[in-house]
């Protein structure tokens, strides 16, 4: 079913497969019963190919930790900070709209490639999935003009927004990344939050990442950028930023210490999770 998707969009099927595998664990960090459906038959094949060819069969815990970390942040933004407008940038096959508890009046805008969102909508309709908030898919090219389409879908720029940029930044060039941040900032009211995952440029350029980068490039979706100083990257746009490395106390959930990693390969591979707020919010709230 994923045959109509371009190589980058197909990575969403891969991610859905990893979420489905996590859901099947007795010690799962989150529940995502729709992930197997949205992975389609292609997702598990992509997942097993990468783990066999590059990671030697290792089940990297980053996806599970990242998902739980962002889940908790969304819940706190909703219940503690009272945010009601959420934008998932490169939403892919994410199903938080269907599996998290949402306060009344919450709106979620899902930005991604039109073909991917169409596939997702069709699969969810087949099983009659019901969301817990208002969901508005917005089919766009995130490296092109997308802000007009978001506004036309009902986005309110004067309201504080929770931006989630999950599994995207390393696929962008530095210029594309900086443009995206500038565009999100221009649409953000005081009190807005921005959460993302990323990788250091130092790690990306290291020998340990060479096989991974080659495999990603050959597959049509190369990792193109990283950042060694995310606080400075976002601070120039007015965001107060905190960073949690995978395996740190706030981004572990009892999973990282038990992970089996290849000898000589950094467990985090320089990856980290970003929490940023504009004036009027508090990054430490997460």
How confident is the model over 249-274, as pLDDT tens digits? 999 998 876 665 554 444 456 889 99
Buried/exposed 123-134: b ≥16 CB within 10 Å, e otherwise:
bbeeeebebbbb
Tokens of 91: 């939403």
Looking at the DSSP assignment, which residues form a beta bridge with residue 162?
86, 193
Nearest residue to 101 via CA among 124, 71, 127: 71
How confident is the model over 132-142, as pLDDT tens digits? 999 999 999 99
pLDDT confidence tier of residue 1, bands split at 50, 70 and 90: very low
- Its pTM surpasses 0.75: yes
Does a structural domain hold residue 250?
A: yes
How confident is the model over 17-55, as pLDDT tens digits? 999 999 999 999 999 999 999 999 999 998 888 776 555
Residue 57: predicted pLDDT: 45
Residue 236: predicted pLDDT: 92
Task: Give the mean pLDDT of the chain.
Answer: 90
pLDDT confidence tier of residue 209, bands split at 50, 70 and 90: confident
Assess whether pLDDT exceeds 70 at residue 128.
Answer: yes
* Residue 94 belongs to domain spanning: 2-281
Radius of gyration of the chain (CA): 18
Q: What phi and psi values does residue 275 have, to the nearest 5 degrees?
A: -125, 120
For residue 208, what is the domain's CATH number? 3.40.50.150
How confident is the model over 216-230, as pLDDT tens digits? 999 999 999 999 999
Nearest residue to 87 via CA among 157, 11, 175, 9: 157
Assess whether pLDDT exceeds 50 at residue 286.
Answer: no
Does a structural domain hold residue 286?
A: no
Assess whether pLDDT exceeds 80 at residue 153.
Answer: yes
pLDDT confidence tier of residue 280, bands split at 50, 70 and 90: low
Q: Which CA distances in Å does 55 have to 69, 75, 126, 268?
A: 23, 32, 35, 13
Residue 232: predicted pLDDT: 95
Identify the three-state secondary structure at position 134.
Answer: strand
Between CA 162 and CA 87 the distance in angstroms is 6
Judge whether 230 and 202 are in contact, CB under 8 Å.
no
Assess whether pLDDT exceeds 90 at residue 164.
Answer: yes
The residues, ordered by sequence, that sit 6+ positions from 133 with a Cβ below 8 Å of its Cβ are 86, 97, 102, 106, 107, 108
The total of other beta-carbon atoms located within 10 Å of residue 68's CB is: 18
Looking at the DSSP assignment, which residues form a beta bridge with residue 245?
272
Q: Which CA distances in Å does 33 have to 7, 80, 230?
A: 25, 26, 33
Does a structural domain hold residue 93?
A: yes
Choose the weakest-confidence range: 47-56, 80-89, 92-101, 107-116.
Answer: 47-56
- Our count of domains for the chain comes to 1
Judge whether 275 and 197 are in contact, CB under 8 Å.
no
Between CA 225 and CA 165 the distance in angstroms is 15
Does a structural domain hold residue 213?
A: yes
Residue 263: predicted pLDDT: 44
Tokens of 220: 């049509």
Does a structural domain hold residue 61?
A: yes
């Amino acid at each position: 079913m994923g045959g109509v998707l371009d190589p980058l969009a197909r990575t969403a099927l891969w991610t859905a497969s990893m979420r489905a595998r996590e859901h099947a664990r007795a010690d799962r960090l989150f529940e995502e019963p729709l992930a197997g459906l949205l992975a389609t038959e292609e997702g598990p094949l992509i997942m097993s190919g990468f783990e066999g060819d590059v990671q030697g069969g290792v089940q990297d815990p980053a996806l599970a930790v990242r998902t739980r970390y962002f889940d908790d942040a969304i819940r706190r933004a909703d219940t503690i900070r009272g945010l009601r407008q959420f934008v998932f940038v490169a939403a892919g096959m994410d199903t938080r709209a269907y599996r998290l508890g949402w306060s009344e009046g919450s709106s979620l805008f899902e930005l991604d490639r039109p073909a991917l969102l169409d596939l997702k909508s069709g699969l969810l309709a087949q099983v009659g999935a019901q969301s817990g908030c208002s969901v508005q898919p917005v089919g766009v090219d995130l490296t092109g003009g997308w802000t007009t389409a978001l506004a036309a879908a009902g986005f309110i720029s004067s309201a504080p927004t929770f931006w989630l940029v999950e599994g995207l930044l390393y696929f962008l060039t530095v210029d594309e990344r900086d443009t995206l941040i500038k565009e999100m900032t221009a649409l953000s009211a005081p009190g807005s939050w921005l959460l993302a995952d990323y990788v250091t440029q130092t790690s990306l350029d290291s020998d340990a990442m060479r096989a991974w980068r080659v495999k990603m490039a050959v597959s049509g979706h190369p990792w193109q950028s990283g950042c060694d100083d995310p606080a400075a990257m976002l601070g120039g746009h007015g965001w107060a930023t905190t960073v949690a490395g995978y395996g740190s106390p706030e981004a572990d959930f009892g999973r990282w210490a038990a992970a089996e990693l290849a000898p000589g390969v950094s467990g985090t591979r320089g990856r980290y999770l970003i929490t940023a707020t504009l004036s009027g919010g508090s990054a430490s709230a997460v």
